[in-house]
Amino acid sequence: MEPQKKLINSADSCVDEALCGLARASGSLSLLKGHRVVLRSDLDNLRGKVALLSGGGSGHEPAHGGYIGAGMLSAAVAGGVFASPPPASILAAILCLHNAGASGVLLIVTNYTGDRLNFGLAAEQARNHGVTVEMVIVAEDCAFERPSKAGRRGLCGTVFIHKLAGALAEEGCSLDKIVSTVTEALKGIGTLGVSLSPCSVPGCLPSFDLPPGDMELGLGIHGEPGIKRSKVASADEVVKTMIDHMTNPDSQSHLSLKPGDSVVLCVNNLGALSCLEMAVVTRAAIICLESRGVVVARVMSGSFMTSLEMAGVSLTMMKANQEILKLFDAKTSAPAWPNLSSVSVSGRSYITDAPIMSTRPQDNTHPEGPLSPVMHKALERVCSTLLEKQEELNSLDRAAGDGDCGNTHAQAARAIQEWLQHHVVPGCPGQLFSVLAGLVQEKMGGSSGAMYSLFLTAAAGHVTEGQSNAAAWASAMHAGTQAVRRYGGADPGDRTMLDALCPAVDELMKLTTAPLSGQMAVLQAAVQKATVGAESTRNLTARAGRASYIAAERLTQPDPGAVAVAAILRAVLEVLEGKK
C-alpha cells in the first residue's frame, strides 16, 4: 500500500511549515525562534495575569495554535505529528510567558503519557527557575467502560477548558481560582468519537485498517482504534448509539446526564466529514439530547480538534450552569473559536412563517371585458398551432438540443386549453398574461417555461385595463423581450427564440406612432420579420442555450425556439385579420 497522498512538501518539514503558515496568516501570532512554539504577539498584555499554555502533537489542527488570543491561550507548543512536544520547547514557552510579566502559568495538558511526562518535566524545571506553574490534565474520553491504569484520554473537551480558563485569566483571576474552577468543570465533560476511516501520518501507511462500510466507535485522536466496530448506520442511529454509550451509568467513564440538565454540545469534525454531514449530525445530536429532557444551551459545530484526514466526528458535552455559560460566552480573539450566539439553543423558536403568496394567478377569477372574446380566440389558435407543430419542433430540436421542444410547447398548449374550458378570459390583458405566466411556469417546465413565464410576467404590467392601446401592447412586448435578454443571457444573432422575437418587437415599436389605419400593416410586417428571423437561424452559430454546446456544422436546420415564436405571432395575426 502506498502512503496516503498529502499536499505537503515533505514529511520532515510539514509541521514547521504549517506553524509558519499559521503565524504568517495572522496579525496576532508570532513564532519562538528555535522552537515549535506559537505565541501571542502582544505578550505585554499578560502582565499581572495568569498565562495559559497548552500543546501536544501536531495533526489536530486548529488545536492548539488556533486557540491563541485574548480570552484563550497565551501560547501553544507543538510536537511532531501525533508526537509529544519536547520539554526544552515547553520550558522555553513557559519562561517566555514568565518574562512577559505573567503572574503564573497554567499548563493545560491532554492525558497521554508522553504529554504528561514532558509537560511535567518542564513544569518542574520552570519551578526551579522561580516560575509559579500549575498543570491541569484533561481526561474526558467516555469510550472505555473500565479505563486502564493510563486513565481516560484527553480529547476535544480540552478546547472547552482552554475557553473557561482563558475567560477567567482575562478577568484577572488567580491561578488557584482558575485551577479549582476548571477542575470542577472537568467532572461534567465527556467526549466520544466515531470514525468511518483511519488517518495516516505524513509519509506513513494508514493508522489502522477499516473495511469500507464499517465504522469504529470510541477511537482516540491519534488513529488508535476504538472499542467496537459495526456497520455504518444512519446519522440518527450513530448519534443515538454514541450518546447512549456516553451516558450509560454502567460505564466507569460515563457522563451522568438527567432530564433538566443543561449542556454545551460540541460536534467536532475529526477531519474529513463534509459540512453537510456535520450539519446532519448536529441536528441529530440536538434532537437526541432534547428527547431525553436535556436542555441544549449552546452548540459548536465544526473542526476544533481533528485527527488529520479522518472521516469521523466526536461529540463532547459539558454540563453548564450560569457561571460556566458566562465564561463560555466571554469574547475571545482566538481565530479558531466560533462566533456563537449567546442564546439557548433549546426552547428557541427556529421556524419563521413563510409569506402568503398568491403564486397561482391561474386560480383567481377575473371579470371579462371587451377584449375577452378576441383574446380567447387568439389563445385557442396559438394552442392548436403549437399542437400541430409538435413533431416539427421536436425534429428541429433533435438536431440542436434534446429533442423535446415540440413536447414542451404542446404541454403548455394543453394546459392553456384546459384552463380555457373552465375559466373566462379576463378583460384586462395584464391579468391574462399573469395567468399564462403561472400556467407555463408550472406546466411547461424547462428553460422554455422559464423564458415564456419571464416574458409574460415582465409584459403584464404594461397592458392594464385602462391602458391596452396599440402603444401599450408594443411596450409590453418590448419589456417582455428585454427581460428574456437580461436573464437568459442571449442576444439576437445567438441562434435562439430572440432571433424571431427581437426583429418582430423592433417593428411593433412603430405602433407607438402609427395611425390607426396603419396598425395592421405594422403587425403584418412584424410577423413577416419573425418568420424571416426564424429562418435566418439556419446560418447562425449557437452562442447561448443548449445548442451552443453542439458543433456548428451539425446545425443546419432553423432553431426550434425561434420557429415556435414565429408560429405563435402568426397565429395571433391570423385571428386579428379575421381569418378562420
The residue from 35, 64, 162, 222 that is catalytic is: 222
| 310-335 core/surface letters (b: 16 or more CB in 10 A; e: else) | bbbbbbbbbbbeeebbebbbbebebb
Q: Is 115 annotated as a binding residue?
A: yes
Question: Is the preceding peptide bond at 129 cis, omega within 30 degrees of 0?
Answer: no
CB-CB contact of 497 with 451 (8 Å): yes
Residue bearing cell 526544552: 88
How many C-beta atoms surround the C-beta of residue 541 within 10 A? 13
Q: Is 59 annotated as a binding residue?
A: yes
Q: Is 222 a catalytic residue?
A: yes
Calculate helix-pair angle for 405-422, 446-460, nearest 10 degrees: 50
CB-CB contact of 225 with 219 (8 Å): yes
Full strand arrangement of the beta sheet holding 75-81: 29-31, 37-40, 75-81, 50-58, 104-110, 133-138
Alpha helices in 423-460, H assignment, sequence order: 429-443, 446-460
Closest C-alpha among 55, 51, 60, 50 to residue 38? 55
How many C-beta atoms surround the C-beta of residue 10 within 10 A? 9
Strand positions, DSSP E, 293-427: 295-302, 312-319
Q: How far apart are CA 41 and CA 566, in angstroms?
A: 71
Q: Is 466 annotated as a binding residue?
A: no
CB-CB contact of 383 with 409 (8 Å): no
Q: How many CA atoms lie within 13 A of 212 on its CB side?
A: 0
Provide the annotated binding site: 57-60, 115
Provide the annotated binding site for substrate: 57-60, 115
Give catalytic residues, as residue numbers: 222
